[in-house]
Amino acid sequence: MTLDTLDLNLALLNLCVSIDVTVIHESSDCQKELKVPMTNIIPASVYQRRDGLTAEQFYVQYQHSIDNPDVFWGKQANLLDFSQSWQQVYTGDFSLGSSQWFVGGTLNTCYNCIDRHLPKHGNALALIWQGEQESLVKRYTYRQLHEQICRLANVLTTYGICAGDRVGIYLPMIPEAVIAMLACARLGAVHCVVFAGFSAESLANRFNDISCRLVITAEQSIRAGKTLLLKQQVDIALTQCALVKTVLVVSAGQNSDWVDGRDIDYQQAVDQASTDYPCVMMSAEAPLFILHTSGSTGIPKGVVHRTAGYLLYSALTFKVLFDYQPGDVFWSTADIGWITGHSYSIYGPLANGATVLLFEGLPTYPDASRCWQIIDQHHVAIFYTAPTLLRSLMREGDGYLVNSSRASLRVLGTVGEPINPSVWQWYFEKIGQSRCPIVDTWWQTETGGVLIAPIVGITPLQPGAASQPFWGIAPALMDDQLQVLTGVASGNLVIQQPWPGLMQSIYGDHQRFLTQYMARFPGNYLTGDGAKRDEIGTYWLMGRLDDVVNCSGHRIGTAEVESALIAQGDIAEAAVVGFPHAIKGEGIYAFVTPKSGVLPSMALKQALIRQVASIIGPIAKPDVIQFTENLPKTRSGKIMRRLLKQIAAGSDDFGDTSTLTDPAVLTQLLRQREIED
Ligand code: WT7
């Protein structure tokens, strides 16, 4: 941010104005004219910060963090306890993807999240677990969590897990998930959580990618009254994972299909284990965890996060962005299988000694009042969720708000996709009763923590805008010709300087990390998102510019869905794109060409959908399948997805189609389009 923007932001404090900004995209990827929505700006003064941070302090500190990052991050590192202090804040070459943070330092993540709080804070609540049934509640103080983590760390050691080993975790939203991640961190093992909605096939690919020998899972999970058999998926996956020798199973008492010598009852094992386990001090740069995310190829990337940098960044952003104060109960609805669950249900809050709420059920079950009931019941002060959930709750009507007061709420947050201004207004006025600011947090699995978000009590709130960079974050907009765009502009969002939360690498493939993120705009981290900046310097996120669909806040690679469709056997070709979807944000639209001799049919559609669910998981099921004889291709045979996206969205404004072999395909596809507007 320039000083001009800073002045503007300061000038905007306490103002309440309307804006209507039209911005012309300058990059060739985004030729369309885009309108920033007409929205009211809510003055920053709607909220008084409790940590006393003023706007002047924030912006002066911001400038300092950009001009003198080493001094800034060196000072912030006091948030963590190192067992051996670091000698250098940062070394490396950002453009070569070789950054190292807090060089020479050693520390343990579990020590920072749990042990150091014990002397003064041991009896404070660390975790409140709410099961799907209202009566199912478990509470853990920091001391109780410590005991459980030590027990599990001992069990892991018994089964041969040492520092540096990878451990696969496939668990629902239960306390054991938190315990498992922190037990790995305690002994220096690298956890790799796979979202419990992924299928056996995805699970096997991820476990094989990290070559793990031990897996922690649960027999089942209950969602919306239905039992999901998780261990059954693990059993199928492990037929393809020869390296896995031990499976710790959180049992539901069924113990069906138990594999002797491999499957171990989690509870029995931890009950017999000692409650002492010294933290293994790790290098600041040691990997803390791996989390897979989709990209533009068919193979998910194992994003590696490092120990000190990641922990510091998630802890600092948690504290400042949510204006966290001791005693606050923090609830993020994101599953622990996603980065939000890692950074803001576990590492960020626990490093700050906060109380985290974990909810196993479905937020819309038994009805749309469930979240608000839980907020009242557990006195949640900070609530963090995704626009897709808000849209589905808003659709149910305000009748579901009358039996809760939500009086404990102070700050609201959103993450995962742009929030529609109308949904933002509903969230602000109805849920937060016009007194709770909304932190629209933009970030990615790769970035470790939030990079762009309004600073509550400091930034005027523009509904639908993630707004402004956090300390240490230098965003820029660039066109496809590598020119930095200034002032009001839109283009590729890049980050120009390193920050400690940035991923270290892609597991086993550092070259892919360099190619995907660091090569296209040399010296900059490429986010893959398009964004625009309005005349007061506010950033508006516009969605992915690569072949990734953001479906209900989940990132799904179109190439992965295409491979799954082809694998069904009846399809010669498939092209998958996103399209606007009222609840999911983006839905999945598949254009498929059957093999010759195969007739398009409803049964084939269903078989294709089943195939995607079984290869990737139910979250990747196409919403629409359109059969077609032809796809729009260039003379060199490349499918023009830009045009398919337009067809899926119902637009006939195709622009230049001269590179197509047969432009008539477009009108034909549009005529046979499968969605009613
Ligand atoms: C992609 C990252 C970060 C945790 C959740 C998703 C989109 C994320 C916002 C936001 C607009 C957003 C971007 C980004 N995104 N937050 N506040 N406004 N878009 O993590 O699966 O790594 O996906 O989600 O497109 O690149 P992820």
Give the pLDDT confidence of 288-312 residue by residue, as tens digits.
Answer: 999 999 877 778 899 999 999 999 9
Q: Residue 315 Cα, ligand 1 centroid: separation in angstroms? A: 19
Closest ligand 1 atom to Cα of 543? 25
Contact 358, 175 (CB under 8 A): yes
CA dist., res. 598 & res. 627, Å (int): 11
Residue of 30, 34, 444 best suited for mutating to test ligand 1, as the one with most atoms within 8 Å of CB? 444
The encoded tokens of residue 182 equal 């922190």
Given a cut of 60, whether residue 22 has pLDDT beyond it is no
Using the mean position of ligand 1's atoms as its centre, give its distance from the Cα of residue 444 in Å.
Answer: 5
- Given a cut of 70, whether residue 645 has pLDDT beyond it is yes
Sorted by where each begins, the domain ranges of the chain are: 3-79+441-543, 106-362, 552-676
Average pLDDT of the residues of the chain: 92
Which protein residues are within 6 Å of ligand 1, measured from CB? Answer: 293, 339-340, 415-418, 440-445, 466, 527-529, 541, 543-544, 550, 553, 555
Fold annotation for 106-362:
Rossmann fold (3.40.50)
Question: CB within 8 A of 638, min separation 6: which ones?
Answer: none
How many angstroms separate the alpha carbon of residue 215 from the centre of ligand 1? 28
Give every CB contact of residue 450 below 8 A, 6+ residues apart in sequence. Answer: 317, 321, 415, 441, 442, 443, 470
Selection from 372, 375, 376 nearest residue 394 by Cα: 372
* Ligand 1 atom at minimal distance to the Cα of residue 340: 4
Residue 32 above 50 pLDDT?
no
Distance 237 CA to ligand 1 centre (A): 29
Ligand 1, atom 20, lies closest to the CA of 444
Among 344, 385, 420, 550, the mutation site with the greatest number of ligand 1 atoms within 8 A of its Cβ is 550
The pTM of this model reads 0.91
Q: Which of 632, 554, 673, 594 is closest to 197 using CA atoms?
A: 554
End-to-end Cα distance, the chain:
41
Nearest residue (CA) to ligand 1, atom 23: 444
Identify the pLDDT of residue 635. 77
- What is the C-alpha to C-alpha distance for residues 568 and 608, in angstroms, rounded to an integer? 6
* Dist. CA 674–CA 650, nearest whole Å: 10
What's the CATH number for 552-676?
3.30.300.30
The fourth-level CATH superfamily of domain 3-79+441-543 is Luciferase; Domain 3 (2.30.38.10)
Do 25 and 490 meet the contact criterion of CB atoms below 8 Å apart?
yes
Tens of pLDDT, residue by residue over 376-419, are 999 999 999 999 999 999 999 999 999 999 999 999 999 999 89
Residue 557 has pLDDT above 70, yes or no: yes
Give which of 144, 71, 150, 70 is closest to 108, Cα–Cα: 150
Residues 375 and 385: beta-carbon distance below 8 Å: no
Q: How far is the CA of 658 from the centre of ligand 1 (A)?
A: 34
pLDDT at position 515: 95
Exposure string of 214-226, with b = 16+ CB inside 10 Å and e = fewer, is bbbbbbbbbbeee
Residue to probe by mutation, ligand 1, list 346, 388, 415, 420, most atoms within 8 Å of CB: 415
CATH topology of 3-79+441-543 equal to that of 106-362? no
**Residues 432-458 pLDDT 10s:** 999 999 999 999 999 999 999 999 999
Residue written as token pair 């084939």:
604
For the chain, give the percent of residues with pLDDT over 70: 94
Q: Using the mean position of ligand 1's atoms as its centre, give its distance from the Cα of residue 527 in Å.
A: 10
The span from the CA of 501 to the CA of 444, in Å, is 11
pLDDT range class, residue 25, cuts 50, 70, 90: very low
Task: With a cut of 50, say whether residue 101 has pLDDT above it.
Answer: yes
Model pLDDT for residues 235-264, shown as the tens digit of each residue: 999 999 999 999 999 998 876 789 999 999
**Cα 450 to middle of ligand 1, angstroms:** 10
pLDDT of residue 520: 96
Do 387 and 423 touch, CB atoms closer than 8 A? yes
Per-residue pLDDT at 18? 32
Residue 4 confidence class, pLDDT cut points 50, 70, 90 = very low
- How many A from CA of 446 to the centre of ligand 1? 10
Mutational pocket test of ligand 1: of 417, 451, 493, 549, the residue with most ligand atoms within 8 Å of the beta carbon: 417
